[in-house]
Structure 1
Amino acid sequence: MSEMQVMMKFEFLPNEILMECYKYLNAPDIFDSFDQLNYRFYKLIRNIPLHVDFQYVSKSSFDNFCRKIILNPENLKQIYSLHLSNKEMYGQIEAFLSIFTFNEFSNLQSLILTQVKEINMNKLKSMLILIPKLYSLRLIDCNIPNSEIMAVLTISKLRILSIRSLYFVPLAKNETSVITNLTVFGCLLSDLYRLFQYAPLLKYLNVGRLPDCHEVIGRGEDFINNYAFHLRQLIIDEYGYEFEDFEIFVKQIPNLKSLIISAYDNIDIIDASRWEHLIKSSLPHLHIFKFKFYYSQYGKSIIADKFNQFQSDFWLKQHHWYTEYSLKESLGRTTALIYTLPCIADRFELKLDINRYYNKLINNFDVFHNIKYLSLDSEILSKECHYYFSNVTSLILKCKSNLFKRDSDRILLKAKHIKSLKMIVNLYNLKHLDISFLCKIESSTILLEILKQSPNLSSISVDPNYLLSLFSDNELCKYLNKMIKKLDMLIPSLDKFSKIEQFCKIFSNIEQLKCNITQLDDLLFLLNNLSKLSILKVSDTSTNKFIYKFKDEASKLNIVYYLRSYHDNSYDKICNLDLSIWIGKKTN
Structure 2
Amino acid sequence: MNINPTKRQLSFNHLSNVKIKKLRATFDKENLSITSFEQLSNELLYEIFDYLDGYDIYKGFSKLNIRFHNLISFSSLPLKINFSKKSQPTLEHCCRNVIIPNKHRLLSLHLDSHSIIHNFFIHCYIDSSFNHLQSVILSGFSDYKILMILFYLNSLPCLSSLTIELEDDSYYNISDIYQIIFRLPCLKFNKMSLLNYDELNISIPISINQKFSIIEHLILNHDCNIDELTSILSHTPQLRHLTCQHVVETDEIVNKEILLTLSNLIHVSFVECSVKFDILEKFIKKISSQLKVWHLNTFEETAYLDANRWRRLITNHIPHLCKFYFNHHMSINNNDIFPNCESINQFTSIFCTKRQWFFEFKDQLDTFVYSIYPYRKTWYNHYEYEQFDVYSDGNIHQQTSKFIDISCQQETTNSFIQSIQLTIENHAFAVWYPSYTDHMKPCLLAVKFTHLKIHCNDTPIDMLIELIHLMPNLQSLEVLSLPLVNLTDLSRENTEMLLLVSINNKITKVKFDKMVEINQIHFLMNLCPRMQYLEIGYTTENNLENIVGSISMNNTTHILYLCGLCLYVSDANEKTIQRLHSIIDFERLFHPVKAFCDYTIRRIGDKIYLKWKL
Unaligned runs of 5+ in 1: 366-375, 389-415, 427-451, 454-588
1:247 aligns with 2:281: yes
1:16 aligns with 2:43: yes
Distance 2:122 2:32 in 1: 42
Distance 2:301 2:33 in 1: 59
1:232 aligns with 2:307: no
Cα RMSD (Å) = 4.2
1:127 aligns with 2:159: no
Match of 1:182 in 2: 218
Match of 1:85 in 2: 112
Distance 1:238 1:43 in 2: 52
Distance 1:34 1:418 in 2: 51
Deviation at 1:209, TM superposition (A): 0.9
Deviation at 1:67, TM superposition (A): 4.7
Deviation at 1:285, TM superposition (A): 0.7
What's the % identity of the aligned pairs?
A: 24
Deviation at 1:21, TM superposition (A): 3.0
Cα deviation digits, residues 523-549 of structure 1 (max 9, x gap): xxxxxxxxxxxxxxxxxxxxxxxxxxx
Distance 2:33 2:112 in 1: 34
Unaligned runs of 5+ in 2: 1-30, 195-199, 377-422, 430-435, 461-476, 481-512, 518-534, 540-569, 572-614
Contact 2:364 2:425 in 1 (8 A): no
Cα deviation digits, residues 417-450 of structure 1 (max 9, x gap): 9979x98899xxxxxxxxxxxxxxxxxxxxxxxx
Deviation at 1:94, TM superposition (A): 1.4
Match of 2:543 in 1: none
Aligned length: 369
Equivalent residue of 1:91, what SS?
Answer: helix
Contact 1:79 1:108 in 2 (8 A): yes
Q: Which amino acid aligns with 1:327?
A: D
Q: 1:6 to 1:29 in 2, by over 3 A?
A: farther
Deviation at 1:189, TM superposition (A): 0.9
Cα deviation digits, residues 48-104 of structure 1 (max 9, x gap): 11222223456676455335316xx33122111111111xxx511112111111115
Equivalent residue of 1:118, what SS?
Answer: coil
Deviation at 1:280, TM superposition (A): 0.9
Q: How does 1:324-343 map to 2 (within 5 A)?
A: 324-329=360-365, 334-341=366-373
Q: After the TM superposition, which segments of 4 or more aligned residues of structure 1 sit over 6 Å from their partners?
A: 4-7, 354-360, 416-420, 422-426
Match of 1:36 in 2: 63
Contact 2:147 2:177 in 1 (8 A): no
Match of 1:315 in 2: 352
Match of 1:159 in 2: 188
Contact 2:268 2:295 in 1 (8 A): yes
1:303 aligns with 2:340: yes
Distance 1:136 1:125 in 2: 13
Q: 1:425 to 1:7 in 2, by over 3 A?
A: farther
Distance 1:269 1:166 in 2: 27
Match of 1:100 in 2: 124
1:50 aligns with 2:125: no
Q: 1:364 to 1:74 in 2, by over 3 A?
A: farther
Deviation at 1:33, TM superposition (A): 3.2
Q: 1:101 to 1:273 in 2, by over 3 A?
A: same
Q: 1:55 to 1:228 in 2, by over 3 A?
A: same
Q: 1:284 to 1:147 in 2, by over 3 A?
A: closer
Q: How does 1:464-475 map to 2 (within 5 A)?
A: none
Deviation at 1:212, TM superposition (A): 1.1
Distance 1:76 1:363 in 2: 58
Distance 2:183 2:218 in 1: 15
Match of 1:69 in 2: 98
Q: How does 1:108-147 map to 2 (within 5 A)?
A: 108-118=133-143, 120-121=145-146, 123-143=148-168, 145=172, 146-147=174-175
Contact 1:260 1:290 in 2 (8 A): yes
Match of 2:319 in 1: 284
Equivalent residue of 2:141, what SS?
Answer: coil
Cα deviation digits, residues 225-284 of structure 1 (max 9, x gap): 323111111111111222222222222220111111111222211222221221111111
Q: Looking at both structures, which has the greater relative contact order when contacts are Cα pairs under 8 Å and sequence separation is at least 6?
A: 1
Q: TM-score, normalised by structure 1?
A: 0.54
Equivalent residue of 1:235, what SS?
Answer: strand
Q: TM-score, normalised by structure 2?
A: 0.52
Q: How does 1:474-489 map to 2 (within 5 A)?
A: none
Distance 1:33 1:114 in 2: 27
Distance 2:330 2:314 in 1: 23
Question: Which of 394, 402, 426 is the equivalent residue of 1:351?
Answer: 426
Deviation at 1:166, TM superposition (A): 7.9
Distance 2:371 2:295 in 1: 11
Q: 1:343 to 1:280 in 2, by over 3 A?
A: closer
Match of 2:242 in 1: 205
354-363 vs 198-207, which moves further: 354-363
Deviation at 1:188, TM superposition (A): 1.6
